[in-house]
């Protein structure tokens, strides 16, 4: 039996080659990469088949629309993935997007406020919502499903009360802000560039920083994480804070993208976001997955919606296909988890 190696300070070092811990990580990473590659392959195949059927699908305007349509959902999936990795969930993101979009619209309507100021307002408002949810989940020890479902309705109620049946008109939104939603750099719209920047920064943080890796440890085994001295409450609070901030940013970009905003424009998106994350390989039980996979899942779901429109298929099928993909992803996660556990038990007996 291999014993843990000791560091100079007497602490246990990471398991050596051939140990169950390293085998588990290697196996999980291999399965994760296979899942992400399969999603990417399905996405490319879907785009190619649609392009062959309708060549205008990938013309200049079609490509820009595809990028713009996936940007906001991709952002939300990145934020949601960080929360799900800790074995929690945030069902309030759609409502946060709506409140942020309407608040930003009210703030800039008929004024000369800059796009940067609007974006900061959206992020701050979203972070505040995430802070409330995170505090109740981490320090109040209230189940995440209950907290975020309650926050969904609270934020919706605030939004409807604030709007009072009205809406923000694009005619009252300053041109620089609308330019943020329609402008581009070398043909690439600003919104997907912002979404990719957030994605890359988040992926780098989760992979490089100790606090990022601790989120995986919390989701994999909360009790072991606690015994290892990981500040679980602070990490979970930080995950919700990040998810809320990203949702607030998405709300500000929603205003820039569409100009006209009602009280709750992203109503129902919370389930789509969760579906994108799970389809992308982030286990709903926490501890497994990556923001890259979540981004691929969001892009795949958005592309399916665009493809159905191009092929003039009833939009009902988008929800049906999303449901099928979600069930398939959860089933796959369960099968993989069972087989991985069985394989590790066999190795440990040798």
Distances (CA, A) of 137 to 150, 225, 274: 12, 17, 18
What per-residue confidence (pLDDT) applies to 30?
57
Distances (CA, A) of 280 to 7, 54, 161: 37, 27, 36
| More confident of the two residues 46 and 125 | 125
- Quickly state the pLDDT bin for 329 (edges 50, 70, 90): confident
Residues 251 and 99: beta-carbon distance below 8 Å: yes
What per-residue confidence (pLDDT) applies to 197?
96
Of the candidates 163, 99, 105, which has an alpha carbon nearest to the alpha carbon of residue 132? 99
Tell me which fold the domain 60-332 belongs to: ABC transporter involved in vitamin B12 uptake, BtuC (1.10.3470)
- Quickly state the pLDDT bin for 158 (edges 50, 70, 90): very high
Q: What is the dihedral of CA 121, 124, 126, 128, to 10 degrees?
A: -140
What per-residue confidence (pLDDT) applies to 260?
87
| More confident of the two residues 60 and 139 | 139
What per-residue confidence (pLDDT) applies to 336?
64
Residue 32 has pLDDT above 70, yes or no: no
Query: Parallel, antiparallel, or unpaired: how do β-strands 188-189 and 184-185 relate?
Result: antiparallel
DSSP conformation letters of 126-194 = HHHHHHHHHHHHHTS---HHHHHHHHHHHHHHHHHHHHTT--B-GGGS-HHHHHHHH-EETTEEHHHHH
pLDDT digits (tens, 9 = 90+) for 263-294: 887 788 888 899 899 888 888 888 888 999 99
Give the mean pLDDT of the chain. Answer: 84
Name which of 37-51, 68-82, 209-223 the model is least confident about.
37-51
**Radius of gyration of the chain measured on its C-alpha atoms:** 21
State the Cα–Cα distance between residues 83 and 88, nearest whole angstrom.
Answer: 6
Domain spans in the chain, listed from the N-terminal domain onward: 60-332
pLDDT digits (tens, 9 = 90+) for 183-223: 888 888 999 999 999 999 999 999 999 999 999 999 989 99
3-state secondary structure of 12: strand
| More confident of the two residues 281 and 21 | 281
**In the predicted model, what is the mean pLDDT of residues 42-54?**
85
Name which of 46-60, 84-98, 111-125 the model is least confident about.
46-60
Of the candidates 181, 165, 176, which has an alpha carbon nearest to the alpha carbon of residue 250? 181
């Amino acid at each position: 039996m291999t014993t843990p190696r000791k560091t100079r300070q007497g602490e246990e070092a990471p398991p050596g080659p051939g140990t169950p811990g390293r085998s588990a990580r290697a196996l999980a990473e291999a399965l994760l990469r296979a899942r992400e590659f399969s999603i990417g392959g399905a996405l490319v195949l879907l785009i190619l088949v649609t392009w062959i059927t309708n060549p205008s699908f990938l013309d200049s305007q079609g490509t820009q629309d595809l990028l713009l349509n996936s940007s906001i959902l991709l952002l939300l999936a990145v934020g949601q993935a960080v929360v799900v990795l800790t074995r929690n969930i945030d069902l309030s993101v759609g409502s946060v997007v709506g409140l942020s979009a309407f608040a930003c619209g009210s703030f800039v309507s008929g004024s000369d406020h800059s796009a940067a100021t609007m974006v900061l307002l959206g992020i701050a408002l979203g972070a505040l919502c995430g802070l409330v949810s995170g505090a109740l989940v981490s320090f109040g020890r209230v189940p995440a499903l209950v907290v975020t479902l309650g926050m969904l309705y609270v934020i919706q109620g605030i939004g409807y009360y604030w709007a009072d049946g009205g809406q923000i008109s694009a005619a009252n939104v300053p041109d620089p802000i609308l330019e943020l939603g329609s402008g581009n750099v070398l043909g690439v719209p600003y919104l997907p560039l912002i979404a990719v920047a957030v994605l890359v920064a988040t992926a780098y943080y989760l992979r490089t920083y100790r606090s990022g890796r601790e989120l995986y440890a919390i989701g994999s085994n909360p009790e072991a994480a606690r015994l290892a001295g990981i500040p679980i409450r602070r990490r979970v609070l930080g995950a919700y804070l990040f998810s809320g901030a990203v949702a607030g940013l998405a709300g500000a970009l929603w205003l820039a993208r569409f100009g006209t905003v009602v009280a709750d424009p992203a109503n129902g998106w919370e389930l789509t976001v969760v579906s994108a994350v799970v389809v992308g390989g982030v286990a709903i039980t926490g501890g497994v997955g990556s923001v890259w996979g979540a981004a691929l899942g969001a892009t795949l779901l958005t592309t399916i919606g665009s493809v159905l429109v191009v092929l003039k298929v009833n939009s009902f099928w988008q929800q049906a296909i999303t449901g099928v993909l979600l069930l398939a992803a959860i089933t796959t996660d369960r099968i993989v988890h069972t087989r991985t556990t069985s394989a590790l038990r066999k190795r440990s007996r040798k």
